């Protein structure tokens, strides 16, 4: 009798849960329109004033499928932690999840590939869960409460592991570009690509069986075109709870509109953002040759206007953000501020080296600090972190013990000699 009652109670809870899943939006992943993927690998740089560009996106996701390490992940989080924009962590290996990544990230995104090898579906995930349960969580509890009896500490480690996973959002990837690093890492070959009908069926399985918070159509590095649009249209309306994310090759408003109209809730942009930093490195070098350290804002504005247009990387990145009305004007504004900030930092860094010999830069009353003030809570700390990042050469040890970063587009290490 008691068992009957308990079973009936449980069934009622299940029914309520099912009903809630279908009627209410119980998905903890916000309905973001635009996510920028920041790859921590050293070859992928950040623009010097990355907080300005990233203030336009709804969320940042830190992760990449190759050459990501615990160290470059930590360095990326050091730079991104002070932003007001939400930051997600998308690890591609168990050891990328650390106490720091957990503290800084607003959301843990766990990839599982629906059309790759079993390692990329559940193998790496199993290894990661084991490592959290048996290493990360016990270490954390030992550090925070070394006095706890072993059995209690072990029980708490189990609870902490369950909590981490219950708060995570699972991403069911459909990887459709066999030439991408993501495909190589997840064992997706040409024979594994899915046509729109099969993609929809697996998306439905991910939504209703795996309960994945995100179904991610991934063309990493290339735009999926008509095939992606057709797949999204097929998936659209078939899912109950999962958000649909599209990523791959987005660098203009037209393609963004096409995938959004086809049913993508969120577009993810990676390469187009890192290209802003790539192009910026050359531009700053040129600016240091063409312009005086104390060039007026007007002179800088004209210099930038001659070099930044709709085909430039800044405008292309901003054109992928649905809320940005005039990408060229905004790209000119951000690039102008970057050039001013850079010329100023170079001059200050040179003066500091000539004076005390110390490679430090005072960021008070700088263009850098002023540009950050409206968009973050602690502009002093962030300006100092950026200046430090630009000052740190690949072999420098940063005096205050913070991690080195070679992720910024430009370095002040060798920049103090001209002008
Ligand atoms: C649960 C915890 C603690 C950790 C999770 C660890 C897991 C499950 C990692 C998943 C490994 C995996 C399946 C990796 C491949 C996933 C993938 C398609 C990533 C997308 O990579 P991109 O961000 O596109 O990278 P690129 O831009 O470098 O191609
Ligand atoms: O780098 P791109 O081609 O923009 O792709 C974004 C993202 O889907 C990669 O995981």
pLDDT, tens digit (0-9, with 9 covering 90-100), for 335-345: 999 999 999 99
Strand extents, DSSP E, 74-182: 87-89, 107-113, 169-175
Residues 36, 51, single domain; the answer is yes
* CA 211–ligand 1 middle distance (angstroms): 18
Residue 21 in domain: no
Dihedral sign, Cα of residue 400, residue 406, residue 409, residue 415: positive
Report how far apart, in Å, the C-alpha atoms of 6 and of each of 13, 16, 139 are.
11, 15, 38
Residues 216, 309, single domain; the answer is no
Q: CA 317, CA 327: separation in Å to the nearest integer?
A: 8
Residues 116, 239, single domain; the answer is yes
Q: CA 383, CA 344: separation in Å to the nearest integer?
A: 13
Dihedral sign, Cα of residue 281, residue 286, residue 287, residue 292: positive
Ligand 1 within 6 A of 116 CB? no
Q: CA 258, CA 248: separation in Å to the nearest integer?
A: 13
Residues 86, 186, single domain; the answer is yes
> Mean pLDDT across the chain, nearest whole number?
91
* Domain's final residue, options 254, 273, 292: 273
- Tokens 């599982």 correspond to 112
* CA 314–ligand 1 middle distance (angstroms): 27
Q: Please give the share of the chain, as a percent, with pLDDT higher than 90.
A: 79
Average pLDDT over residues 131-159: 97
Report how far apart, in Å, the C-alpha atoms of 106 and of each of 30, 95, 98 are.
11, 18, 14
Residues 309, 226, single domain; the answer is no
From the list 124, 133, 130, 110, the residue with the least C-alpha distance to 28 is 110
Residues 57, 178, single domain; the answer is yes
* CA 269–ligand 2 middle distance (angstroms): 5
Ligand 2 within 6 A of 37 CB? yes
Ligand closest to Cα of 171 equals 1
From the list 63, 414, 403, 2, the residue with the least C-alpha distance to 247 is 63
| Domain tally, the chain | 2
Q: CA 322, CA 56: separation in Å to the nearest integer?
A: 9
* Domain's final residue, options 209, 242, 273: 273
Residue 22 in domain: no
> Which one is predicted more confidently, 198 or 13?
198
Residue 404 in domain: no
* Domain's final residue, options 273, 301, 335: 273
Ligand 2 within 6 A of 271 CB? yes
Which band of pLDDT confidence, cut at 50, 70 and 90, is reported for residue 274? very high
Does residue 334 surpass a pLDDT of 80?
yes
Residue 95 in domain: yes
DSSP state for residue 277 in the 8-state scheme: H
CB distance 194 to 113 below 8 Å: no
Residue nearest to atom 23 of ligand 1 (CA): 64
For 194, list phi and psi in degrees, rounded to 5.
Answer: -105, 140
Report how far apart, in Å, the C-alpha atoms of 353 and of each of 223, 291, 328, 381, 412 are.
47, 21, 37, 22, 11
Residue nearest to atom 21 of ligand 1 (CA): 65
Residue 4 in domain: no
Give me the interface pTM, i.e. the ipTM.
0.97
Report how far apart, in Å, the C-alpha atoms of 60 and of each of 55, 64, 123, 162, 318 are.
10, 13, 26, 25, 14
**Can you read off the two tokens belonging to residue 98?**
């650390």
Ligand closest to Cα of 88 equals 1
Atom of ligand 2 nearest to the CA of 218: 8
Q: Name the least confident of 4-13, 82-91, 177-186, 333-342.
A: 4-13
Atom of ligand 1 nearest to the CA of 121: 13
Residue 410 in domain: no
Atom of ligand 2 nearest to the CA of 223: 3
Q: CA 90, CA 108: separation in Å to the nearest integer?
A: 6
Which band of pLDDT confidence, cut at 50, 70 and 90, is reported for residue 397? very low
Residue 415 in domain: no
Specify the pLDDT at position 401: 44
Ligand closest to Cα of 126 equals 1
What is the rounded radius of gyration, in angstroms, for the C-alpha atoms of the chain? 24
Beta bridge partners, 260, equal none
Average pLDDT over residues 142-171: 97
Domain range spanning residue 362?
276-391
Q: CA 403, CA 389: separation in Å to the nearest integer?
A: 9
With the CA atoms of 207, 210, 211 and 213 taken in that order, what torsion angle do they form, in degrees rounded to the nearest 10? -80
Residues 235, 285, single domain; the answer is no
Residue nearest to atom 10 of ligand 1 (CA): 92
Ligand 2 within 6 A of 248 CB? yes
Residues 286, 207, single domain; the answer is no
Residues 316, 251, single domain; the answer is no
pTM to 2 decimal places: 0.93
Residues 231, 115, single domain; the answer is yes
Residue 2 in domain: no
Q: What are the helix (H) ranges across 24-69? A: 50-54
DSSP state for residue 136 in the 8-state scheme: I
Residues 109, 258, single domain; the answer is yes
Atom of ligand 2 nearest to the CA of 250: 4
* CA 173–ligand 1 middle distance (angstroms): 9
Residues 256, 328, single domain; the answer is no
* CA 63–ligand 1 middle distance (angstroms): 7
Ligand 2 within 6 A of 268 CB? yes
Atom of ligand 2 nearest to the CA of 274: 1
Average pLDDT over residues 286-300: 94
Q: CA 184, CA 92: separation in Å to the nearest integer?
A: 13
pLDDT tens across 73-111, in order? 999 999 999 999 999 999 999 899 999 999 999 999 999
CB distance 53 to 334 below 8 Å: yes
Beta bridge partners, 88, equal 61, 107
């Amino acid at each position: 009798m008691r068992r009957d009652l308990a079973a009936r109670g449980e069934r009622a809870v299940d029914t309520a849960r099912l009903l809630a899943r279908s009627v209410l939006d119980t998905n903890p992943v916000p309905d973001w329109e635009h996510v920028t993927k920041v790859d921590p690998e050293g070859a992928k740089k950040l623009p010097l004033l990355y907080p300005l560009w990233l203030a336009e996106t709804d969320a940042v996701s830190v992760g990449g499928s190759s050459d990501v390490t615990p160290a470059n992940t930590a360095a990326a989080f050091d730079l991104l932690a002070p932003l007001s924009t939400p930051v997600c962590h998308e690890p591609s290996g168990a050891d990328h999840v650390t106490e720091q990544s957990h503290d800084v990230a607003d959301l843990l995104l766990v990839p599982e590939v629906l059309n790759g090898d079993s390692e990329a579906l559940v193998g790496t995930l199993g290894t990661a869960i084991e490592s959290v349960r048996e290493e990360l969580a016990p270490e954390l509890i030992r550090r925070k409460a070394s006095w706890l009896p072993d059995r209690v500490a072990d029980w708490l480690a189990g609870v902490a592991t369950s909590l981490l996973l219950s708060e995570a959002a699972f991403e069911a990837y459909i990887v459709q570009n066999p030439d991408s690093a993501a495909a190589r890492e997840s064992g997706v070959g040409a024979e594994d690509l899915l046509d729109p009908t099969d993609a929809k069926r697996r998306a439905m399985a991910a939504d209703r069986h795996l309960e994945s918070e995100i179904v991610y159509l991934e063309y990493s590095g290339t735009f999926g075109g008509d095939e992606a649009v057709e797949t999204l249209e097929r998936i659209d309306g078939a899912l109950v709870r999962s958000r649909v994310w599209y990523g791959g090759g987005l660098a203009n408003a037209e393609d963004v509109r096409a995938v959004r109209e086809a049913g993508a809730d969120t577009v993810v942009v990676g390469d187009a953002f890192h290209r802003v930093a790539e192009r910026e490195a050359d531009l700053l070098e040129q600016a240091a040759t063409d312009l005086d350290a104390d060039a007026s804002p007007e002179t800088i504005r004209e210099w930038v206007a001659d070099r930044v247009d709709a085909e430039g990387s800044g405008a292309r990145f901003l054109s992928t953000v649905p809320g940005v009305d005039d990408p060229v004007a905004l790209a000119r504004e951000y690039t102008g501020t970057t050039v001013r900030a850079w010329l100023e930092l170079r001059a200050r860094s040179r003066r500091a080296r000539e004076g005390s010999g110390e490679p430090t830069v005072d960021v008070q009353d700088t263009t850098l600090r002023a540009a950050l003030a409206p968009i973050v809570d602690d502009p002093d700390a962030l300006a100092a972190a950026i200046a430090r990042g630009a000052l740190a050469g690949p072999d420098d040890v940063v005096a205050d013990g913070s991690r080195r970063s070679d992720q910024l587009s430009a370095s002040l290490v060798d920049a103090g000699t001209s002008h």
